[in-house]
Amino acid sequence: MTRVDQWNEVLSRIHAAEEGAARSRGSVALVAVSKTFDADAIRPVIVAGQRVFGENRVQESQGKWPELKAETPGIVLHLIGPLQSNKAADAVALFDVIETIDREKIARAVAAEIERQGKPVRIYVQVNTGLEPQKAGIAPEETAAFVAMCRDTLDLPVEGLMCIPPADENPGPHFALLAKLAQENGVEKLSMGMSGDFDVAVAFGATSVRVGSAIFGLRDVAVPTA
């Protein structure tokens, strides 16, 4: 199967999951995760109609996405990997959505760059639902205070929450927790679900799913950390 065939298969699975959850068709956005793949690998999926993409690293993204965005209007680029404060300016300049705000220092740096550049960027807060020490994200019990700080103190437009459940656990309870936290804090969007569990995420209310390997295949290219 080509990548376009795989992309179509993922879309079909998302639509089936929407139907199975009694949700309207198109209520779940597909974020195609193109990290480590170059522009030539991504273009066929763009030509097929995909417009929303996710990347993990700012520096890698700078090497391909300005050109791809110039070629095709309407592309929406999500940063789904950890952000360092010294990359905030570059991230705000390139990305339309930043999904990984999880520290006050990062939140303040992004807020300052949004104001300085005058560019609207949509913001998600990453929640570490499994309390994994090696994983980014705020603790679930800190969500209310952190979202309030971002909104009220920094005037950041927090529209969503994002999580990555532990790889060795049933993702359902983690998705349910994120949905509960979103409801409690007046957050509309839920970024949850990846190649192995996005069908489950749709059933728990995901508004976007981040799917990479099921579209582009396995990643075997080592990319330096930005």
Q: Report DSSP state, residue 137.
A: S
pLDDT score of 85 = 93
pLDDT score of 222 = 44
Which one, of 128, 124, 179, lies nearest residue 157 by Cα? 124
pLDDT score of 178 = 98
pLDDT score of 90 = 98
Q: CA-CA distances (angstroms) from residue 50 to 32, 71, 178?
A: 8, 14, 26
Q: Cα(220)–Cα(120) distance, rounded to whole angstroms?
A: 34
87-112 pLDDT tens trace? 999 999 999 999 999 999 999 999 99
pLDDT of residue 224 exceeding 60, the answer is no
pLDDT range class, residue 76, cuts 50, 70, 90 = very high
Which one, of 106, 68, 62, lies nearest residue 88 by Cα? 106
Tokens describing residue 108: 């303040």
pLDDT score of 218 = 81
Would you say 3 and 217 are in contact if contact means Cβ atoms under 8 Å apart? Answer: yes
Would you say 87 and 105 are in contact if contact means Cβ atoms under 8 Å apart? Answer: no
